[in-house]
Structure 1
C-alpha cells in the first residue's frame, strides 16, 4: 500500500506559486490507479514525490512500509520504479540495452544470465521481440514508449509509477498502451499508478480513480463511483455529462 499523510509541497511554476496539499491518501495494493484532473492540478507532482524524485516540504509518504524520505536508495529501488515524461534517453541505445537499465538495482551494470532472462520476458511481453536490436531513434513514438515501459517493468518492483505514458500517442497507440498496462498489473501482480489526462481512458482501463484539483485530492473511488456528472463537472470546472456505454460510463464534454 502507498500512504500519504499530511503531504505538502510549495513551488513556483511559470512565475506562479503552486501549493500541493495537505494530502492524506491511501492507494490500494494491486491493479491500476489513475490520477486525473485539470492541467496544473498537481498530479505529476504527487507522483514524483511518491517516487522520491521531488522532496516533500512536510508530511510522510510510505510505500510498502518504507518511508520514501529516509529509505536507502537501493532498498527503495527494489520496491518502486517510476517513468517520468522527461527522463527519455538521448544517447544511441538499442531497445534491449534500454530495457536492461531496469536491472541496475540488482546487477549494478553487470548483467547475469538471470538478468538476461528477465529482460527478454519484458521485451516479449511488450511486443518488442523483433525490435530489440533497433536503436531508439529508429522506432515510432508508440514503439519507443513501449520500450520505456518495458524498462520500468524490468525493474520488477511491486509498485510502478507512470507519468502520462499516453503523451504524444495517437488513439490506437494509447489504447494499446493502456491494455499493456492493465495486463502487466494483472499478469505480474503489480500496483501501477498512472497519470492520465483523458478521464475516459481512466474509466475504461483503471481499477480506481484519484481526482486531483488545486493540489488537493477531491475524489477517490472506483470508476463507477467517480464517473458521474456532478463529480466530473466539479473536478474539471466545466459541464460534463456521463452516459452509459457498452464498456462502462463515458464522459461527454
Structure 2
C-alpha cells in the first residue's frame, strides 16, 4: 500500500500540494484528476521520491519512502513523467531495455529479454522495435516509454498523463491495457488524467485535486455528479449514464449544457 500523511510541497511562498492524506490499496487503477495547477503531477513525483516533501510523509508497504534503498525501490515502483524526452538517440528496443536496469544492472539476461519482448508485444511495438525514437510519431514514442515502465515489472506503476499524444483509438487501447495490468497482473496503477470520462470509465477510484488540496476521493459514481464536477472544474457539466458508466458532457456549448 502507498500512504500519504499530510503530504506538502512548497515552492517559495506557493503551496502546490497542501497537506494531502491518502491511501492507495494494493491492486486496482486510481485516476488523479483536477484542473491545471491542481498539484497532480507534483503529488505523483513525491509518491515516487522524485521530489522531496516539505511536510508530511509517504509510506510504501508500511515503511517510510525515505528509508527505501534506491535499488529496492526501483524494483517495486516505476514512474513515467510527462517530460520523458531523452537526448540520446535510441531505438525502441534499447529504450525498453532500460526498464530492466534495476534488475539486471546493465547485464541483460535471457529472463530480461523475455520481459523486454513481452513489454514490446503488450504495447504493440514489435514492428517498430528497431526504429529510432526520433523517427516515430509522438504517440509511438509515448507507447515506447510506457513499454519501458512495463519492462521494469514493478508492483506499483505511476503514469503522468499517459494519454498524451495518443489518438482516440490508442488512448482507448492504453486505458484497456492499464486496466488489464491491474485486473490480470495485480498491479497497482496510478494515473494522472485530464479527461474525466476516461477516468470514470476505467478507474476504480478517482482522486480529485484543486489548488493543491484534496477535494474528493471515491469511486467514479461518487465523483461523477454535476455539483462535484462543478466544484472541481468551475464548469457546469451535466452527467449522463451511458450503460454502466457516467459521462460528463463538458464539451457541449454552454447553452446545451443548461
**Smaller-chain TM-score range?**
over 0.9
The reply on whether 1:152 has 2:128 as its aligned counterpart is no
Partner of 1:226: 223
Partner of 1:250: 247
Q: Determine the C-alpha separation between the residues in 2 that align with 1:88 and 1:31.
A: 28
Q: Determine the C-alpha separation between the residues in 2 that align with 1:86 and 1:22.
A: 25
Flag structure 2 segments of 5+ consecutive residues without an equivalent: 251-258
Contact 1:6–1:59 (Cα < 8 Å) also in 2:
yes
Q: Equivalences for 1:15-26 in 2 at 5 Å?
A: 17-26=14-23
The reply on whether 1:106 has 2:103 as its aligned counterpart is yes
Partner of 1:10: 10
- Judge which range, 241-250 or 214-223, deviates more: 241-250
- Distance verdict in 2 for CA 1:103–1:26, change over 3 Å: same
Which residue, out of 194, 197, 203, partners 1:197? 194
Flag structure 1 segments of 5+ consecutive residues without an equivalent: none
Contact 1:55–1:69 (Cα < 8 Å) also in 2:
no
TM-score (norm 2): 0.93
Q: Determine the C-alpha separation between the residues in 1 that align with 2:2 and 2:214.
A: 15
Which residue, out of 176, 180, 184, partners 2:181? 184
Which residue, out of 181, 206, 209, partners 1:209? 206
Secondary structure of the corresponding residue to residue 148 of structure 1: helix
Q: Determine the C-alpha separation between the residues in 2 that align with 1:120 and 1:112.
A: 12
Q: Determine the C-alpha separation between the residues in 2 that align with 1:180 and 1:108.
A: 28
Contact 1:78–1:156 (Cα < 8 Å) also in 2:
yes
